[in-house]
Amino acid sequence: MLYAEPIARLIGEFSRLPGIGPKTAQRLALHVVRMPREQAQSLAEALVAVKDRIIHCSICGNITENDPCRICTDPGRDPAILCVVEEPKDLVAMEKTREFRGHYHVLGGAISPMEGIGPDDLRLKELLPRLASGEVKEVVLATGPDVEGEATALYAARLIKPLGIRVTRIAHGLPVGGDLDYVDEVTLARALEGRREI
Amino acid sequence: MQLEALRLVNFRNYSEQEVAPGSRLNLLLGQNAQGKSNLLEAVYLLATGRSYRGAADAEMVRWGAAGFAVRGRVQRAYGEVLLEVAYQVDQRKRVRVNGTDVRRLSELFGYLTAVIFSPEDLQLVKGGPAHRRRFLDLELAQIDPAYRQDLIDYQQVLVQRNNLLREGGAVSAASASRRLGPRLDLGQLEVWDEQLVTLGARLHAKRARAVRALSRLAAEAHRRITAGRETLRLAYLAAAGPGGRRVEAEGEGAESTPEAFRRRLAEELERVRPLEARRGMTLLGPHRDDLLLAIDGAEARSFASQGQQRTAALALKLGELEFMREETGEYPLLLLDDVMSELDSGRRRFLLEAAGERAQVFVTATSRRALPAGQEERAQVFTVEQGKIAPGGEPLSEAGTV
Ligand SMILES: Nc1ncnc2c1ncn2[C@@H]1O[C@H](COP(=O)(O)OP(=O)(O)OP(=O)(O)O)[C@@H](O)[C@H]1O
Ligand SMILES: [Mg+2]
Ligand SMILES: [Zn+2]
C-alpha cells in the first residue's frame, strides 16, 4: 500500500462520489491531510448533518429539514397551482425564477424503460391524492425537456386530466436534452410564462 | 462558402501543417498512402465533427501523439468563422466556434457544410436502405438544427420504446387493466407512441420534401451526364404501410402535411402493436424508411449496370450539392476522394465543370492526368508527400498506382 491506511480509505471514499476519478480523489485526500483540524471536523459534521437532518417532505417529496417543508407550509403560496418536477434541483431552479408562487410535487426521476424506471417507481401515486380535494385548479408539468421528461409529462397528464383539472406543460425552447437546473433563470421564467395545455 | 485556411496538428500522418486552399478547384496530388484522404477527412471533420470514413477520434491522432487539433477559417456570405475540433486521448472532443467552446458537437453543424463523394458512395445505389437514410440525415442535419435535434430525440425514443416492448415495463397499478398480452403496459407504451409519431412525422415531412427537391436536382444532373438518354427518378419510401411495409410518400398537398402523416402513422402503429409486442421492436417509422432510385422506371439497386449505378451515385451527390445551395444560399465544399479514377473522361469533365465553376472543390488523385484537359490550368495544385503538403510543387513521377 502506497498510502497509510487512513489516507487510502479517504481516497477510496472520495472516488465513490459522482464525477470524481482516482486522481482527483487523491488530490482531495491530500488536501484534507493539510487542513486544520477544525476544518476537517466541520466537513465531517456537515456530511453527517445532511444524513441526520435532511428528510423528504411527506407532502411534496422535496428534501427538507422539517416535515412538511417550508414551501408546503408557507401561507403566502397559492394552493391552486401545483408544479410537478423531476428532482429537488429542478425545484430550486424554478424557485430561482421568482415567477412561480404555487406548490410543488417532486417525482424523484423520470420514466425510462432502459433504466427500468416505470411510473410506479416515481412519486406519481402520491400526486393523485393531493388533487382529490379540488383545491388545485392547475397542474404545471415542468419535467425535463428530453424525451424521458416528455414521456413522464404525458403519462402524468393522462392520469390528471380525468379529474377535470387544467394541465399545462412548460414551453420548450429550452436547450433540449439539457437539465432544468442548467437553464438560466430568464429562459426558465419565459418557459413558465409560455406554458401550454397538454 | 470557402475554406480559406486550414491547420492540422498531429492529425493522422500530419505533424504540423498549414494549407491555404484556392477558392475553386484544388487538386491534391500524391502517390498512395501519402495523406490525401487524410486531408479531406480533416476538412470533413470541421464540417460535421466526424470522420467520413467512420474512424474513431483516437484513430485520427498521429501515432505516438497525445491528441490532434484541426482548425479552419471559413469565409461565409455573412462573415468569417473560425472552427476548431480538438481531441486529447481519454478526453472529450472539444469543439470551438470563433474561439468559444460549444457544449454539443451538433452546434458545430452549419458553419462549414460539405458534400463528400468517394468510391464507397456507390453503396448509396447498391447498398441497403441504411446507407440512403444516413445520406439524407447527414444532408439535412448539416443545414437544419431542428432536424438534427428531432433526429437525436427520435433515436432516443426508439431505444426507450424498444426496451419497453421487450421488457413490458414494470406493472403499473394505474394501468394494470390495460395490458397487451401478459406483459406489455399500454399506458406506458402510449406516451412513447405519441412522441414516436410526433417526431417521426416531423422527420418524415422534412425528408420527403428534401427528396422532392433532390429528385428534381439529381434528375437534372443525370439528364446532363447521360445526354438525355436516361431518366433518373427519386422517391421517398415511408415505412408507414400495413405491418411497416414501405409506401411511396405522396407529393405536395394535404395528405403530406405532418399532421396527416402523424395520424396515419398513429393508426398503423395501433394495428401493428401485437406484432411489435411479439417481436420486441418498433416496426414503423423513419428509422425504416428508404429512398428509391429508379433509372427509366427500373430500380437502380437491382437492375442498373455498374456504370449506371456510378452515374446515379454521382447525380445524387451533385443533386445534394445543389440542394444545400438552394437551402442555405451558398455552395457547400465538394470533396472528391479518389473518384476521378472511377469515372470516364466525359463524366469527369461534367463533374468538374458542374461543380468547379461554383463551389470550392478538393480533388485527390495520383496523377495530373486525372483532371480532364483544360481543368488543370484552373486548378490550384498541391503535392502531398509523406504527411507534408506543398503548393504547386514538383511534377511527381507518375509511377503511383491507382
Ligand atoms: N493515426 C495515424 N498516424 C500516423 N499515420 C497515419 C495515421 N492514420 C493513417 N496514417 C497513415 O496515413 C496513410 C494513409 O493516408 P491517406 O489515406 O490519406 O492516403 P492517400 O494519400 O489518400 O492514399 P491513396 O491514394 O492510397 O488513397 C497510411 O499510410 C497510414 O500509414
Ligand atoms: Mg485516399
Ligand atoms: Zn413539501
Contacts of B156 in chain A (CB under 8 A): 146-148
| Count of structural domains within chain A | 2
pLDDT tens digits for B84-124?
999 998 788 999 999 999 888 878 889 999 999 999 999 99
B70: which 3 cell numbers? 484541426
pLDDT tens digits for A134-168?
999 999 999 998 999 999 999 999 999 999 999 99
- What residues make up the domain containing B399? 1-113+332-402
pLDDT of residue A191: 67
Q: How far is the CA of A105 from the centre of ligand 3 (A)?
A: 8
pLDDT of residue B352: 87
Pair (B96, B162) in one structural domain: no
pLDDT of B256 over the 80 cut: no
CB pairs under 8 A between A and B: 70
- What residues make up the domain containing A105? 76-169
pLDDT tens digits for B316-364?
999 999 999 999 999 999 999 998 888 888 888 888 888 878 899 999 9
Pair (A153, A80) in one structural domain: yes
Pair (B358, B296) in one structural domain: no
Pair (B156, B53) in one structural domain: no
pLDDT of residue A177: 45
pLDDT of A178 over the 80 cut: no
Final residue in a domain of this structure, among B299, B329, B359? B329
Pair (B222, B274) in one structural domain: yes
The CA distance from B27 to B391, in Å, is 10
B383 lines ligand 1 (CB under 6 A): no
> B157: nearest CA in chain A?
A147
CB atoms inside a 10 Å sphere around CB A21: 9
Beta bridge partners, B201, equal none
The CA distance from B50 to B13, in Å, is 17
B370 lines ligand 1 (CB under 6 A): no
Residue at A181: amino acid letter: D
User: Tell me, what CATH number does B382's domain have?
Assistant: 3.40.50.300
Burial A87-97 (b: 16+ CB within 10 A, else e): bbebbebbeeb
Pair (A132, A93) in one structural domain: yes
Residues in contact with B53: Cβ distance below 8 Å, sequence separation at least 6, in sequence order = B37, B41
Residue at B2: amino acid letter: Q
> Lowest-confidence range among B82-91, B102-111, B179-188, B377-386?
B179-188
pLDDT of residue B132: 97
CA torsion, points A108, A112, A118, A120, in degrees to nearest 10?
Answer: 10
- Whether residue A109 is contained in a domain is answered as yes
The CA distance from B126 to B120, in Å, is 10
Give CA separation, B229 vs B203, B297, B347, in Å: 34, 13, 14
Pair (A106, A163) in one structural domain: yes
B184: which 3 cell numbers? 406489455
Residues in contact with B375: Cβ distance below 8 Å, sequence separation at least 6, in sequence order = B25, B349, B352, B356
> Lowest-confidence range among A25-39, B54-68, B331-345?
B331-345
pLDDT of A7 over the 80 cut: yes
Pair (A92, A132) in one structural domain: yes
The CA distance from A3 to A7, in Å, is 6
- Whether residue A106 is contained in a domain is answered as yes
Contacts of B200 in chain A (CB under 8 A): none
B385: phi > 0 → left, psi -120 to 50 → alpha, else beta; which? beta
User: Tell me, what CATH number does A34's domain have?
Assistant: 1.10.8.420
How confident is the model over A177-197, as a mean pLDDT?
Answer: 61
Pair (B42, B93) in one structural domain: yes
Q: How far is the CA of B169 from the centre of ligand 2 (A)?
A: 49
B33 lines ligand 1 (CB under 6 A): yes
The CA distance from B258 to A7, in Å, is 61
- Whether residue A17 is contained in a domain is answered as yes
B37 lines ligand 1 (CB under 6 A): yes
The reply to whether residue B156 touches residue A113, judged by beta carbons under 8 angstroms, is no
Q: Which of residues 176-195 of A touch B (CB under 8 A)?
A: 176-177
> Lowest-confidence range among B171-180, B239-248, B275-284?
B171-180
Triad B36, B37, B38: Cα angle to 5°: 90
Residues in the 5 Å CB sphere of ion ligand 2: B 37
pLDDT tens digits for B276-298?
988 889 999 999 999 999 999 99
Q: What is the ipTM of this complex?
A: 0.79
Give CA separation, A8 vs A4, A22, A34, A184, B374, in Å: 6, 11, 15, 39, 73
Pair (A80, A164) in one structural domain: yes
The CA distance from B361 to B344, in Å, is 19
B78 lines ligand 1 (CB under 6 A): no
Final residue in a domain of this structure, among B284, B307, B329? B329
- Whether residue A184 is contained in a domain is answered as no
Q: Does B91 contact A at CB distance below 8 Å?
A: no
- Whether residue A175 is contained in a domain is answered as no
pLDDT of residue A2: 83
pLDDT of A27 over the 90 cut: yes
Helix (H, G, I), strand (E, B) or coil at B171: coil
Q: How far is the CA of A63 from the centre of ligand 3 (A)?
A: 8
Contact between B76 and B1 under an 8 Å Cβ cutoff? The reply is: yes
> Lowest-confidence range among B63-77, B103-117, B213-227, B278-292?
B103-117
Final residue in a domain of this structure, among B314, B329, B344? B329
pLDDT of residue A173: 56
Contacts of A119 in chain B (CB under 8 A): 170, 172, 174-175, 187-188
What is the band of B402 on the pLDDT scale with cuts at 50, 70, 90?
A: very low
Strands of the sheet containing B100-101, edge to edge, are B14-19, B2-11, B67-76, B79-88, B94-97, B100-101
pLDDT of residue B401: 43
Residue at B201: amino acid letter: A
| Count of structural domains within chain B | 2
> Lowest-confidence range among A73-82, A144-153, B39-48, B178-187?
B178-187
